[in-house]
Amino acid sequence: MVLKILAAITLVSALVASAAAGILVRTTPYGSFSAWFFPLLVLSAGILTFAVLERRSPVFGKIFWKGEPGRNRVAITFDDGPNEPFTSRILDILKEKGVRATFFMLGQNCERYPGAVRRIAAEGHELGNHTWTHRVLPLKSPAAIAGEIARTSDLIERLTGRRPTLFRAPHGWRNPWVDREARRAGCIPVAWTLGVWDTDRPGVEVIVRRTLRGIRDGCILLVHDGRGVEDGADSSQLVRALPTIIDEIKRRGFHLVTVSEMMEAARR
C-alpha cells in the first residue's frame, strides 16, 4: 500500500512539474529550462510526500495535533475500535481511574460492536470519526472520502444520538480533499503529538516506556483499542500498560482531558 501511495505522489509530482515546465518552456531559454526541470520535479515530489505522509503538515489545511502549553493537559486517544473484548476492558480502566478519553472509531467496527459504541458514549467519552474502512485516503476521490466519513458518522449518531465533531484520517495520511470533506461533514481534523506503535505489540514495558518518555504538556497521545478492521485484534498489551500510564501521567501533575476540552483550553 505504501508503494501505491508513493506511486500516486510521484505521478502527481510529475504532473505538477510538467505544468510548471510548460510555463518555463514559454518563458525560459532551453538551456536554463533543462537545468530547472529535474530539480523542480524532485522538489515537487518532496513537498507532496511531506504533505501526504506527515500528519501535522499544514500544506492541505490546518490540523489540530497538540494543545496549548502551560495548561498541564494531556489527551489520550484510542484509534481503530471498537474491538472487543479490549474496548470494554479499556472502558473499565478509564472508569476506575476517573478519566475521559477520545475514541476515533471505524464504521465497520461500530457495526460489529454497537454495544461498545453505546457504552463509550454513555460513560462520557468523546466520539471521533476514523472512516468506515481504515483504507488510506490519499488514493480516494473527494466523493469516496465524503462517503467514508458520512457513513461512519451516520451510524454513530444512530447508535448514540451524538454525531462526531472530530475526524482523524487513517495513519494521518491526507490528500488535498481530506480536511475539506471532514469540515463539510462537521468534523475538525485531528492528528496526534505522540504515537507509541502499540499495534506492533512490542511488550507492555516498552509501551509504557515509550509513552512516558514522550509525554509533554499539551500532548495528544495515540494508542489503539483495535487494529484496522481486524476482528478481535490483540490489544491486551495496551490494556495492561494503560493503568501505569494513567497513574504516572497524573503523578506528573497533568490533567487528562478529551481532545475537545484541549481545543477549548487552547482558545481561551
Active site residues: 79, 224
Place of cell 475539506: 180
Amino acid at 138: P
Orientation angle between helical segments 236-251 and 204-214, nearest 10 degrees: 30
Q: Are 56 and 65 in contact (CB under 8 A)?
A: yes
Of 148, 151, 147, 175, the C-alpha closest to 163 is: 151
Of 57, 73, 1, 159, the C-alpha closest to 65 is: 57
Amino acid at 101: A
Separation of CA 239 from chain center: 20
